[in-house]
Structure 1
Amino acid sequence: MEILIKASQFILSLSLLIVLHELGHFIPAKLFKTRVEKFYLFFDYKFSLFKKKIGETVYGIGWIPLGGYVKISGMIDESMDTEQMALPPQPWEFRSKPAWQRLIIMLGGVFVNFVLGILIYICLMWAYGEKFLPNESVNAKDGIWVQDSLAMKIGLETGDKILTIDGEKIRKFNGITLGFINGNNFTLDRNGTIIEKNLPEDFISQLMDRRKNEKGPVVSERIPFVIGGVSKESPNVKADLKPKDLVVGINGTAIKYFDEAKNVLNKYKNQNITLTIKRANKTKEIPVKVTKEGKLGVALGQLKYTDLEKLGYYDLADIEYSFIEAIPAGLTKSWKTLTDYMKQLKKIFNPSTGAYKGLGGFISIGSIFPAEWSAQAFWEITAFLSIMLGFMNLLPIPALDGGHVVFTLWEMITGKKPGDKFLEYAQVAGFVLLIALLLFANGNDVYRWIQSLGN
């Protein structure tokens, strides 16, 4: 059921983005009286799931969910209709239109992707505002909790306060891992001493390797020791411990965080001790037994940020925006999404970073959707994908919109139009490159899935 919910959201989001992207080409084409022969969601090799001709255009749904397309008369595209191109140009054909009109038609899809992403982010800011744990709140308390092997490897310690990444202050605490992915260096405060550290060039590669055994963010906020439950095999199964009990002391030693509790318990291996707990604003002393491994045999309770705020551990940011205020907030969010994605793409094309290991296909994209329906999460992911697809389509690769734009700009600047044969060869080369990237990305997904079966 979880896979079905994720897949349904992915298909819905992808379909919406494809249809609107192709409308971005379709509308200016019609405005400039250019004939559009087909308008398709997904590809229709050999046959279609649905098709209907309205006027001069066939509207349909293909069976290969790898994208969509509009077939514009007199244009060398993925259809590779060389027979049509061999005939004399007709007034309604793309190749007969002025270069500036062709440029607008080609940029229409990318324009829609960017505008759609911005509009969604603006609406999200207006509807939901922003709720997050500020990095300043973590720094104002007692710093981070380091339990991850990669965090230790890059030189972090529990109690450190991360100040900047690449010279920029960190606004949201849960943005630190992404900051490390995109960044090159960071500064931290350790007991009042400011320390600068460089991130390893292959940080992303190490992050991917680490995910085979460890999940979650590289750094965590420090959390209290809250009992989640007692194991049936625990020596304390009959002790007066209940879920949501807050451990505030161990054998007379006051503790505030779970990481402190682990250190104290290690001093009392295989001994009987006393826990001081808080339950419903009352303090109790409870005798317990520590195992030879320095554990109590209890599960750590899972707390939400709101729970941590109620307990007085952190101050959360809860920002509400009017519609007017949401506009600049949405624009800022869109710009950060775009620049973060550009930084990641730059690292992917640098083999020494190992970022190519993280390149994913449809499984990776589908997996970012939540296992339960959330309108906010769905639209946030859709906005991200819209901006990502807009940028990807703008890359100067033949077979993408950006490739057609480059050839059109060349014509406008030099006054020389590339020959049809050259455009055909370029289209084929671009198509082969895209297929190779598609196979590599989805191959990565399959490889990671096979690895997960072995773990």
Structure 2
Amino acid sequence: METFLIRALQLIMSLSLLVIIHEGGHFLFSRLFKVRVEKFYIFFDPWFSLFKFKPKNSDTEYGVGWVPLGGYVKISGMIDESMDTEQMKQPAQPWEFRSKPAWQRLLIMIGGVLMNFLLAIFIYSMILFHWGDSYISLQDMTYGMKFNERAQEIGFRDGDILLRADEQPLERFGMDMLRNVAEARTVTVLRDGKETEIYMPEISLLDIAKEEPMFLDILRPNVVDSVIAGGPLAIAGVQKGDSILAVNNMPVGSWNEFTEKLEGFRSDAETNGAEYAEFSLVYSHQGMRDTVAVRTDSLFMVRATSMLDYKVTTRHFNFFESFPAGVKLGVNTLKGYVNDMKYVFTKEGAKSVGGFGTIGSIFPKVWDWHRFWEMTAFLSIILAFMNILPIPALDGGHVLFLLYEIVARRKPSDKFMEYAQMVGMFLLFALLIWANFNDIMRFVF
């Protein structure tokens, strides 16, 4: 329950900030061009609102709605989420959106997307300024990688150290690395002190990202890091530094293999309706082999002391250096996200679309400001990109119609805009329902 509340609070804080900044972008350009903004709301407020106020001598009502699906600004003289068609039947007023030149209306519509992207760059810059950029280079992971069966069929071997995807150096473990490997024609690894080229078949990033065990993972030696004091393993004599050699007489060569077998035991126990599974564990202590009976519900060990031994590369940035580095990080993040969008239009990609549960799960289980700001910047990038898509009811749909107006020198009719808005809202609600349905199905099954 505590984990759920921590994640939920982070999600609400992050989305609230992103909504304020996004709608603030529309508001800023509207006021810059003297367009009246009637409402500025966080969340939607059908029938009633949780809170609202209107400052004296202001045209704008500020408030908080009760439906947490985003937010909106109601701009005078514009067909939007409010579907206020009665206003559009009245003569156009100088302060209305429809009375302004097309280029001003275009800037008003892209204002939200622009502010979200600028926010992401600013957050990334401040992360780099405050925490720097710390990572363990793939070349410094001297134990190499652990590969699943599919990767080994391609030609990888446990212990390979990743060097390059085509001619692009592979620097750090993560999704960018996996994307580069999946899209490469050849991957160069260091094996037994020699460079070896592996020719890659056509594979889908989406497929290998979901594989269990992972297509490639950090190879962790089969060495015990710690044992809970007073627990069954401690009583049996297992200590830090001992090596796990076999389970149920099946040899294990790495901690990865040990955890895979452990998960298999747990899964079998669950299938058979048992609370736990029993197995024998062979370990080595100071060169002496011993065997102990273990239950899966009593196994308390922290894996892989090897990560503590690797050299950590850290780059620090002063205040002025952090901004170009933040721009580069933001642009690269956007490129990666746009590149991965092609998988959404596949059968597996459609099943992978997630709603609020999926978004909330990307936040850490414990409060971590570093991770919180990283995820907020990433979500800001996503919000910017999704909103600029040329879909009616999104900013990108309005931008598309404005570009048509600029090129054709004629506006789409108000009736066309009404129908387009309704179609767009239907599509968005259908996507929202589908995404959250996927979350429910993943939770249930």
Are the aligned partners of 2:150 and 2:215 in contact in 1 as well (CA < 8 Å)? no
Of 396, 413, 426 in structure 1, the residue corresponding to residue 420 of structure 2 is: 426
Matches of 2:280 and 2:184, distance apart in 1: 47
Match of 2:334 in 1: 338
Match of 1:25 in 2: 26
Matches of 1:108 and 1:52, distance apart in 2: 24
Of 272, 284, 309 in structure 2, the residue corresponding to residue 275 of structure 1 is: 284
Task: Report the CA distance between 1:30 and its aligned residue.
Answer: 1.2
Matches of 2:280 and 2:64, distance apart in 1: 69
In structure 2, give the amino acid aligned to 1:157.
R
Match of 1:281 in 2: none
Match of 1:370 in 2: 364
User: For each residue in 1:69-123, what CA deviation from the matched residue of structure 2 results, as whole angstroms up to 9, or x when unmatched?
Assistant: 0000110111111111111111111000111111111111111000000000000
Matches of 1:429 and 1:298, distance apart in 2: 55
Are the aligned partners of 1:43 and 1:61 in contact in 2 as well (CA < 8 Å)? yes
SS of the counterpart of 1:173?
coil
User: For each residue in 1:134-171, what CA deviation from the matched residue of structure 2 results, as whole angstroms up to 9, or x when unmatched?
Assistant: 11212xx242123x456456654312233334653222
Of 99, 107, 112 in structure 1, the residue corresponding to residue 110 of structure 2 is: 107
Matches of 1:119 and 1:76, distance apart in 2: 32
Match of 2:224 in 1: 226
Choose 88-97 or 150-159, whichever is displaced more: 150-159
User: For each residue in 1:363-402, what CA deviation from the matched residue of structure 2 results, as whole angstroms up to 9, or x when unmatched?
Assistant: 1001111121111111111111111101111111111111
Cα separation, partners in 2 of 1:171 and 1:421, compared to 1, 3 Å: same
Are the aligned partners of 1:177 and 1:219 in contact in 2 as well (CA < 8 Å)? no
Matches of 1:445 and 1:331, distance apart in 2: 33
Cα separation, partners in 2 of 1:364 and 1:186, compared to 1, 3 Å: farther
Match of 1:414 in 2: 408
- Runs of at least 5 residues in structure 2 that lack an aligned partner in the other structure: 247-251, 260-278
Task: Report the CA distance between 1:323 and its aligned residue.
Answer: 1.5
Matches of 2:26 and 2:11, distance apart in 1: 23
Are the aligned partners of 1:34 and 1:92 in contact in 2 as well (CA < 8 Å)? yes
Alignment length (residue pairs): 413
Alignment of 1:387 with 2:381, yes or no, is: yes
SS of the counterpart of 1:48?
coil
Are the aligned partners of 1:166 and 1:183 in contact in 2 as well (CA < 8 Å)? no
In structure 2, give the amino acid aligned to 1:416.
R
Match of 1:12 in 2: 13
Of 80, 83, 104 in structure 1, the residue corresponding to residue 83 of structure 2 is: 80
Match of 1:357 in 2: 351
Match of 1:60 in 2: 63
- Runs of at least 5 residues in structure 1 that lack an aligned partner in the other structure: 263-269, 278-284
Cα separation, partners in 2 of 1:329 and 1:217, compared to 1, 3 Å: farther
Matches of 2:299 and 2:33, distance apart in 1: 70
Are the aligned partners of 2:242 and 2:284 in contact in 1 as well (CA < 8 Å)? no
Alignment of 1:195 with 2:198, yes or no, is: yes
In structure 2, give the amino acid aligned to 1:398.
P
Matches of 1:396 and 1:271, distance apart in 2: 59
Match of 1:170 in 2: 170
Structure-2-length-normalised TM-score: 0.83
Match of 1:241 in 2: 238
Matches of 1:175 and 1:200, distance apart in 2: 15
SS of the counterpart of 1:164?
strand
Match of 2:306 in 1: 308
Alignment of 1:137 with 2:143, yes or no, is: no
How large is the Cα RMSD of the aligned pairs?
3.4
Cα separation, partners in 2 of 1:350 and 1:163, compared to 1, 3 Å: farther
Task: Report the CA distance between 1:232 and its aligned residue.
Answer: 9.6
Matches of 1:101 and 1:310, distance apart in 2: 55
Choose 416-425 or 155-164, whichever is displaced more: 155-164
Are the aligned partners of 2:11 and 2:363 in contact in 1 as well (CA < 8 Å)? yes
SS of the counterpart of 1:46?
coil
User: For each residue in 1:36-59, what CA deviation from the matched residue of structure 2 results, as whole angstroms up to 9, or x when unmatched?
Assistant: 111100000111111112221111
SS of the counterpart of 2:50?
strand
Matches of 1:110 and 1:342, distance apart in 2: 15
In structure 1, give the amino acid aligned to 2:94.
P
Matches within 5 A, 1:285-300: 285-286=287-288, 288-289=290-291, 300=301
Task: Report the CA distance between 1:245 and its aligned residue.
Answer: 2.4
Matches of 1:155 and 1:438, distance apart in 2: 41
Cα separation, partners in 2 of 1:298 and 1:97, compared to 1, 3 Å: closer
Match of 2:270 in 1: none
Cα separation, partners in 2 of 1:179 and 1:194, compared to 1, 3 Å: same
User: For each residue in 1:183-233, what CA deviation from the matched residue of structure 2 results, as whole angstroms up to 9, or x when unmatched?
Assistant: 3655143554311112523x524644x46xx5x784123335125338999
